Each structure stands twice: as structure tokens, then as C-alpha cells.
Amino acid sequence: QSALTQPASVSGSPGQSITISCTGTSSDIGSYDLVSWYQQHPGKAPKLMIYEVSQRPSGISNRFSGSKSGSAASLTISGLRAEDEADYYCCSYVPGDILVLGGGTKLTVL
Amino acid sequence: QVQLQESGPGLVQPSGTLSLTCTVSGGSISNNNWWSWVRQPPGKGLEWIGEIYFTERTNYNTSLRSRVTVSLDTSKNQFSLNLYSVTAADTAIYYCARRGRLGESFDPWGQGTLVTVSS
């Protein structure tokens, strides 16, 4: 199972919106609406931000949103803040109880 | 609120076995969730290793399947990872996490533990 494809880096200024893409195949992202997104600050454990493509766990700001089209998913962060600067990873469930992660995207807030 | 904590040796000899334990607190390990291991080599991305259900059914990353075993100890509310025949490429931060409460996502995560493979 190949890793999902994410851009290595994205950047934006405070207050702007950015979108991080996550590209897979019909065997993973395209199979079910079971994409999740994680935020990881340096030296910290990953934190769940989005599950089931677009659902936010309790306590996660509505500035974070997710979507999916075909075999690609996206994470959008609106009203960018300095504390959003982190690495972001997408993850997809694959039929047969396999989980595949993306390579990660470094978000820089300018 | 469920919390997870990894424990185990920080240094393993090449060709040896990497063994880690994850202790679950604030909830029972014997419920409708998967208990997973994910690793992150220094400066690199996350890699799913494998997981176990309370029935002891397991799932593994196909690239690691031949070298991995995940097991469960319900009496101690713990689950464990054994990775055999390790090399320097297995040096990583190892995280344990719960999967299945929210879709098929990992939440929460342990703080992670660095394991270095070196002689």
C-alpha cells in the first residue's frame, strides 16, 4: 500500500486561508469517507483535527474543515493564526483494515 | 478521558527485538476499539505499524508484517509491540493510539517514545 501524496510545504499569512491536498487512489481515499487529518507541532504527538472527511472532534476550531472529491481529500484552514504553524498529515482507511498515511505537509505562517 | 503512555527500552541492538508497551488509563482496553502503533523516523513522516482488537484480532502494515507482533494484556490494560530483526532504519519515535471511536481515526495518542537501534 503506497503512502498518500501531500505537498511538502504550504504557507500563508495570518488571516488568510490555506488548503492542503491529499491524493490517493480508488483503493483508499476513493473507497470510503474515512479520511482523517492530524496536526503535529514540533516535539509533540499528532492531534486529531478532522475525521470521516469533514467531521471535527469536540474542541477543534471551526476554522478547520475537510472535504473530499473522488480519490483526493483536502484540509482547509481559514483565518490562519501563528499557532496553526505545524506539520499536517492525512490518513485513509483501506478496505481490509489497513491504514495509510500521507507524507506530511509543513505549514508555515508568514 | 482515555490516556495512553508508551514505555520500553530507548536503545536496541541491531538484529535484536524492539519491545514496547502501551498502558491505557481512564478506560478499558476491552471495548469496541482498535489499539494501534504508529512510528515516525527522525525528521520524517508517520507510518502505521499495526493494531489489535480486544478479541485479539490483529492487522499489520504489509511492509512490516513479517517482523511485527502486537499483543494484548487485558488484566493490565496494556498492549504491546514486538518488532524483530531491527536495523538502524527502525530508529523512530513510536506512538501508541486508539482507533475507532471517531470513524477510523487515531485518537488519542500517547506522547511517544524514541527508540534508537545502535550497537
Span B67-89, pLDDT tens digits: 999 999 999 999 999 999 999 99
Confidence band, pLDDT 50/70/90 cuts, at residue A57: very high
Name which of A21, A20, A18, A54 is nearest A35 in CA terms: A54
| The pLDDT value given to residue B69 | 98
Q: What are phi and psi of B70, to 5 degrees?
A: -115, 130
pLDDT given at position B100: 85
Q: How many CB atoms neighbour CB B26 within 10 A?
A: 10
Q: Which of B67, B75, B72 is nearest to B33 (CA)?
A: B72
User: Which pLDDT belongs to residue B32?
Assistant: 86
What is the arithmetic mean of pLDDT over A97-107?
Answer: 95
Q: Which three cell numbers stand for residue A17?
A: 486561508
Task: Please compute, for residue A37, the number of CA atoms within 13 A of its CA located in the half-sphere on the CB side.
Answer: 30
Whether the per-residue pLDDT at A15 is higher than 90: the answer is yes
Asked whether A105 and A80 are in contact (CB, 8 A), the reply is no
Using alpha carbons, list the distances in angstroms from residue A47 to A91, B22, B102: 12, 18, 13
pLDDT one-digit tens code per residue, B11-51: 999 999 999 999 999 999 998 899 999 999 999 999 999 99
Asked if B111 reaches chain A (Cβ–Cβ under 8 Å), the answer is yes
Q: How many contacts (CB atoms, under 8 Å) link A and B?
A: 67
Q: B102 touching A, CB under 8 A?
A: yes
Q: Give tens-digit pLDDT for A17-45.
A: 999 999 999 999 999 999 999 999 999 99
Asked if A101 and B104 come within 8 Å (Cβ–Cβ), the reply is: no
Q: Given this model, what pLDDT does residue B103 score?
A: 86
Asked if the model's pLDDT at residue B53 lies above 80, the reply is yes
The pLDDT of residue A8: 97
pLDDT tier at A96, thresholds 50, 70, 90? confident
CA-CA-CA-CA torsion sign (B54, B28, B94, B116)? negative
Residues 25-44 of A with CB under 8 A from B: 34, 36, 38
Given this model, what pLDDT does residue B102 score? 86
- Residue in A38, A45, A55 nearest the CB of B103: A55
Residue A2 has pLDDT above 90, yes or no: no
